[in-house]
Structure 1
């Protein structure tokens, strides 16, 4: 258990800074500090784009969402997923209000996305032996042709300020988003600053690809609002030929475990009696739990634990615990999903506990740990969240009382690892960066 895990946040995210305990080991690395962002706005992908970092305090897979919800409805058609064409209707809600990581996920509630296809028998008319009067008339004197034109567009279908991708077009740039922890306003501001969403919070990034590195809830004011936004962007991005995906973080496991198991006792050596107790200790917001619905649960429970994009191995946690779940990316994801679907409370707790471990890539042994993961799962560099950069760098030791200075992602472990958790819960920054860094 780390200092972050031991000390929960304040009652309200704006009620003051948290006590920052000391850390005993500091890594060696460098900040990636780009020049000011010039904006994206769907510009050609060969134009130079910088990653800026905003916010004073400061996704999933791509399957469609179809179920009971409230609020904004998006009807979209497009491609850009691993499963082929997408025809989806995402019902999403935007609501909101919320606050440390412990040891240790979730109920696969009955939610199924998609549509039931119905085949109707076709009708093939037969002509009589004697032509009808209309056919006889057509033989003698062809009537004038009337151009009907294309079908009228569906007024409910969304429109986008960029052309649909053509066949064979290369994929768009890749962006990664660090831990959000319920800070919805800061997330919207940074995505808009990068040109990835418009002023109304809708996808404006064309064929770009975005990966959220997990930890959407807890500690901050509006975790459910963050989840709703990521689900919405996943649907809108697919319609535009890009995609928005997300990894499962340890706080997703904790949140789902609190919902499924509540106060049911767990076998823990850290003194925590239940998922619900651990969730509350680590910044769980009752407002998020009260607004958790079946479609949120289904979406969260199907998030992958690990991904690979353009040579970057994407993880939530800076730990080698992934190796305990399989020797390939599909094996790891299937194993975690199997625990969530069929495991009991102790298996859930053990999964949460493993993915709460951190700091495996620090110090002299850090590069070796990184290579172990890269050699197993592929890629040339790891990009992760989970461990706040202020802890990795010792920025929490500032004696002047000022918030930690986090200019950008932190590159360390012989340049093999990139940390993306900017410490939004510690008055740091919410980081969004374009790869490669």
Structure 2
């Protein structure tokens, strides 16, 4: 497992690829460099690597350069290592946890798909005054449309594109990799492709955009990213196109932290919770503080899998989706049912399964891709989740420079396209038009 996603818990032997890949053999793949939109004047995005926030150097700061993690203890308040944490009442948390409960007393967890050690050296910064955990809506809440809420302001600008004719083909398809709270980078990348205008509004007409998940955590403004995507969904619908999104493992983690807080989950590692795992994986307290009911409703209804123009769209490069159904509707219904009625342990199990990675790399990678394509349809998988520098082995350059990510990475006998450009590690936030 990469140092990006760390959490305690038992291994699920039937998750991930059916054959463990040789992690010493890198995939044979190629980079694809998207062309900018016609007439594009250029921004700092055009640099080989960039970050409006300095890239945060998240992995460089919290993962030793030699890849050797170490265990540590984060001292907490109000939590006894021998018992589950006590809450004043449901929906609140005391803000503390002890990482000894999570890691000590067991062997380091090794992901079936990655071979990375979970005992990472990331030291989370705990907020002094955590906010009460928010609650997910029940089944009686009014439904929301899949594309997002309507424009809330009657005075907001309209987009007078004509409606498509009955025989008119749909617009082009674009995919967006993991954003992780980097709002300014997202705006720059969308502008680079001509999908939004200088004011951040939809300018792509009948184009179709799919975000591949992971809007929050690590970066400075995850809620701002969600707000922008919801805005573009409404504007695109008015223009005859659409903007949609998949549920990533960080959406599950964020929603779980909001709903369950420090409520303990079943783990062979000892006491664990969504809130603790969310903090360990870059959760930003200002995102949790600003999370509102309409964000929760929208996030909890995102699909896990989609098929668009022969491209099977997934967040995670894992075969764990097969454990939730034999068709795309079955998988999405199973995940939505779990979020509506599932217990904290069922949520945790789902989060852990969709955090697996690297199923498509190595000699067994094409076989794993075919297993998903044969079940759900499509001719190629497009995914996020695993940063391209980890897929290619180019995490730490010899000259100390950030990884060079010219574009999406095509691998697994050209059957898989990786879209996570590693924006959290000074790579790039990728937006690309399909097919690649």
Both structures adopt the same fold (TM-score exceeding 0.5):
yes
8 Å Cα contact 1:197/1:203 also seen in 2:
yes
* Runs of 5+ unmatched residues, structure 1: 86-98
Partner of 1:117: 111
8 Å Cα contact 2:28/2:411 also seen in 1:
yes
8 Å Cα contact 1:319/1:361 also seen in 2:
yes
Partner of 1:82: 82
Query: Cα gap change, 1:25/1:65 in structure 2, threshold over 3 Å: closer, same or farther?
Result: closer
Q: CA deviation at 1:27?
A: 1.8
- Which stretch has the larger CA shift, 121-130 or 202-211? 121-130
8 Å Cα contact 2:31/2:409 also seen in 1:
yes
Query: Cα gap change, 1:291/1:373 in structure 2, threshold over 3 Å: closer, same or farther?
Result: same
Whole-angstrom distance in 1 between the partners of 2:241 and 2:367: 34
Query: Cα gap change, 1:198/1:51 in structure 2, threshold over 3 Å: closer, same or farther?
Result: farther
Whole-angstrom distance in 1 between the partners of 2:221 and 2:136: 70
Q: Residue by residue, what CA displacement relative to the aligned partner does 1:102-130 show, whole Å, maximum 9, x if unpaired?
A: 99999999999999999999999999999
Q: Residue by residue, what CA displacement relative to the aligned partner does 1:227-258 show, whole Å, maximum 9, x if unpaired?
A: 00000111110011000000000000000000
Q: Residue by residue, what CA displacement relative to the aligned partner does 1:336-385 show, whole Å, maximum 9, x if unpaired?
A: 00110000000000000000000000100000000000000000000000
8 Å Cα contact 2:71/2:119 also seen in 1:
no
* Runs of 5+ unmatched residues, structure 2: 113-117
Query: Cα gap change, 1:178/1:2 in structure 2, threshold over 3 Å: closer, same or farther?
Result: same
8 Å Cα contact 1:237/1:243 also seen in 2:
yes
8 Å Cα contact 2:10/2:267 also seen in 1:
no
- Which stretch has the larger CA shift, 69-78 or 351-360? 69-78
Whole-angstrom distance in 1 between the partners of 2:124 and 2:278: 66
Q: Residue by residue, what CA displacement relative to the aligned partner does 1:60-113 show, whole Å, maximum 9, x if unpaired?
A: 99999999999999999999999999xxxxxxxxxxxxx999999999999999
Q: Residue by residue, what CA displacement relative to the aligned partner does 1:392-428 show, whole Å, maximum 9, x if unpaired?
A: 0111131211000000000000000000000000000
Q: CA deviation at 1:193?
A: 1.4
8 Å Cα contact 2:50/2:427 also seen in 1:
no
Q: What SS is found at the alignment partner of 1:382?
A: strand
Whole-angstrom distance in 2 between the partners of 1:209 and 1:304: 16
Query: Cα gap change, 1:70/1:54 in structure 2, threshold over 3 Å: closer, same or farther?
Result: closer
Q: What SS is found at the alignment partner of 2:62?
A: coil
Partner of 2:239: 240
Whole-angstrom distance in 2 between the partners of 1:120 and 1:24: 21
Q: Residue by residue, what CA displacement relative to the aligned partner does 1:4-60 show, whole Å, maximum 9, x if unpaired?
A: 324999999999999999975522211112455435899999999999999998999
Q: CA deviation at 1:296?
A: 0.3
Q: What SS is found at the alignment partner of 2:157?
A: coil
How do 1:52-131 residues align onto structure 2 when only pairs under 5 Å count? none
Whole-angstrom distance in 2 between the partners of 1:6 and 1:359: 15
Number of equivalenced pairs: 424
Whole-angstrom distance in 1 between the partners of 2:150 and 2:221: 42
8 Å Cα contact 1:272/1:278 also seen in 2:
no
Whole-angstrom distance in 2 between the partners of 1:240 and 1:416: 32
Q: CA deviation at 1:170?
A: 1.1
Q: What SS is found at the alignment partner of 1:280?
A: helix
Question: How large is the Cα RMSD of the aligned pairs?
Answer: 20.5
Whole-angstrom distance in 1 between the partners of 2:241 and 2:289: 32
8 Å Cα contact 2:10/2:268 also seen in 1:
no
Query: Cα gap change, 1:13/1:32 in structure 2, threshold over 3 Å: closer, same or farther?
Result: farther
Whole-angstrom distance in 2 between the partners of 1:20 and 1:130: 43
Whole-angstrom distance in 2 between the partners of 1:269 and 1:341: 26
Whole-angstrom distance in 2 between the partners of 1:131 and 1:13: 36
How do 1:156-171 residues align onto structure 2 when only pairs under 5 Å count? 156=155, 158-160=157-159, 162-171=161-170
Whole-angstrom distance in 2 between the partners of 1:138 and 1:2: 33
Q: What SS is found at the alignment partner of 2:46?
A: coil
8 Å Cα contact 2:52/2:184 also seen in 1:
no
- Which stretch has the larger CA shift, 327-336 or 141-150? 141-150
8 Å Cα contact 1:57/1:429 also seen in 2:
no
Whole-angstrom distance in 2 between the partners of 1:127 and 1:32: 40
Q: Residue by residue, what CA displacement relative to the aligned partner does 1:263-301 show, whole Å, maximum 9, x if unpaired?
A: 011112455610000000000000000000000000000
Whole-angstrom distance in 2 between the partners of 1:422 and 1:44: 16
8 Å Cα contact 2:223/2:290 also seen in 1:
yes
8 Å Cα contact 1:31/1:410 also seen in 2:
yes
Q: CA deviation at 1:192?
A: 1.1
8 Å Cα contact 1:306/1:332 also seen in 2:
yes
8 Å Cα contact 1:76/1:157 also seen in 2:
no
8 Å Cα contact 1:79/1:241 also seen in 2:
no
Query: Cα gap change, 1:242/1:54 in structure 2, threshold over 3 Å: closer, same or farther?
Result: farther
Instruction: Give the structure with higher Rg (CA).
Output: 1
